[in-house]
Structure 1
Amino acid sequence: MSAGKAPGKHGGYAKGRLRREQIVSAAAEVYADVGYHGASVREIAKRAGISHVGLLYYFPDREALLTAVLERRDEEDRAHVAPKDSSPQAAVQYLVDLADHNARRHGMVDLYVRLAAEAITEDHPAHGYFQAHYATTRAYVRRALGELAEQGALRDGVEAESAAVAFVALMDGLQVQWLTSPHEVDMAKVLGSFVQQLLREPSA
């Protein structure tokens, strides 16, 4: 292949990536508006400014597109928020910081809440994703709290397993309340307060 054709090839790849991103963004908007089951591929294509056939070239079925939307959400989380170090304190603070980050992503939080509610049925295409997501998040929190317990940093009576379940439940419940009353609910503040309730008072 001649050197003169490389830019066109790379340009084609870039154009394809851009088009995929446009489709994923449009799908996220439609899912947030009407849910996954209420979304049509034709409406998503219309919002993305592409034909129905053109959309199917990039995403051959609705499940592939839904997967891309959920993967986009996870990638954005990793890109904007990360633990500052490997300590259990940093692991827990990461989730508090993530709640603060989500307060600036109304559309994605709205989409997450709607899909999570829809996906409780086993036949929903996102059921497996959310099942794995919750299991992974609970394990992440449980591990961090377990390490804090080993350090003697948790209050008496706090059990890592149940506290991890409560932590994840609070995270998701706060998102629902924040969506309905964004000016009255500070997700990061409430989540941070809950963490403090789990920890021993620092020694004087």
Structure 2
Amino acid sequence: MKKNPRKRQIVEAAARTIAEKGYESSSIKEIAAEAGLPAPGLIHYYFKTKEEILREVVKQSRERYEEEFGDTMPGRSSELFGAEEGAPRKTSDEHGPEWYKLRYEFFAQGLRDATLAGDVSQLLEVGRGGIAGVLDSALLGLGDQERESLSAILLACFDGLALQKLLYPDLDLEKTYGLLETMILDRFPAAE
């Protein structure tokens, strides 16, 4: 993808369009216009179908997620939700609402399409793995099963709270994350 700027331009335009309008309501014509292409047919030089574009959007999102979590692996931060450099992202504002809207589209489409489900599953696996890395550096004595379960719980919390924030902007995420962190630290000792 890095070698072909036009293909990257199409994928980025598709991500913006799908986040704004939803996958079902996004057309090739709208994606082409967002990408600044003079003719929608040029997209077909790079992608055969809209589904193929969506799969590439999911793939690129997963790769960006991997890069992001590469900064939050063990040894980078001892705070679960804190503001230290390398700490995990903690609010929908840091990623922006469009990022979460796009994720929710991935989830919805992944439930409908078995092929895409595998791609979305990989995206979630990267998220759980990144959270597991943070947990390893932030908490003492986590067993493998506990780390795996807690990573899944936290990923669900982050996605679910971001959804609530999108639909109910007055939700105080700072207080919510503070309570979540307190609950975790009441159960597991923090690393020094």
Equivalent of 1:133 in 102, 115, 123? 123
Show the counterpart of 2:166.
Answer: 179
- Aligned partner letter, 2:120: F
Q: Give the number of aligned pairs.
A: 183
1:170 positional shift: 0.4
**CA gap 1:119/1:54 in 2 versus in 1, 3 angstroms:** same
Q: Equivalents in 1 of 2:20, 2:131: separation in Å?
A: 31
Q: Secondary structure at the match of 1:97?
A: coil
1:103 aligned partner = 94
Give 1:23's aligned residue: 10
Indicate conservation of the 8 Å contact 2:62/2:122, yes or no. no
Give the aligned partner of residue 59 of structure 1: 47
For the pair shown, which has the larger CA radius of gyration, 1 or 2? Answer: 1
Which shifted more, 127-136 or 80-89? 80-89
Distance 2:124 2:182 in 1: 22
Shift of 1:189: 5.8
Larger RCO of the pair (alpha carbons < 8 Å, separation 6+): 2
List aligned pairs for 1:63-78, cutoff 5 A: 63-77=51-65
Residues 108-165 of structure 1, C-alpha deviation per residue, up to 9 Å, x if partnerless? 22111222123223x255311122222343355457657877x3479xxx94443233
Q: Which has the higher helix share?
A: 1
- Normalised to the residue count of structure 2, the TM-score between the two structures is 0.70
- Percent identity between the aligned chains? 23
Change beyond 3 A, Cα 1:128–1:53: same
Q: Tell me whether 1:116 sits opposite 2:107 in the alignment.
A: yes
Contact 1:119–1:130 (Cα < 8 Å) also in 2:
yes
Q: Which amino acid aligns with 1:131?
A: S
- For 2:70 and 2:129, locate their aligned partners in 1 and report how far apart those are by CA, in whole Å: 17
TM-score by length of structure 1 reads 0.66
Deviation at 1:176, TM superposition (A): 0.5
Change (3 A) 1:58 1:29: same
CA deviation after TM superposition for structure 1 residue 47, in Å: 2.6
Counterparts of 1:23-42 in structure 2, within 5 Å, are 23-42=10-29
Specify the SS of the correspondent of 1:133.
Answer: helix
- Where 1:169 maps in the other structure, the secondary structure is helix
Residue 109 of structure 1 contacts residue 175 of structure 1 at CA under 8 Å; is this kept in 2?
A: yes
Equivalents in 2 of 1:159, 1:69: separation in Å? 32
Amino acid at match of 1:195: E
Contact 2:19 2:101 (C-alpha < 8 Å) held by counterparts? yes
Q: Which runs of 5+ in 2 are unaligned?
A: none
Q: Residue 173 of structure 1: CA displacement?
A: 0.3
Aligned to 1:164: 151
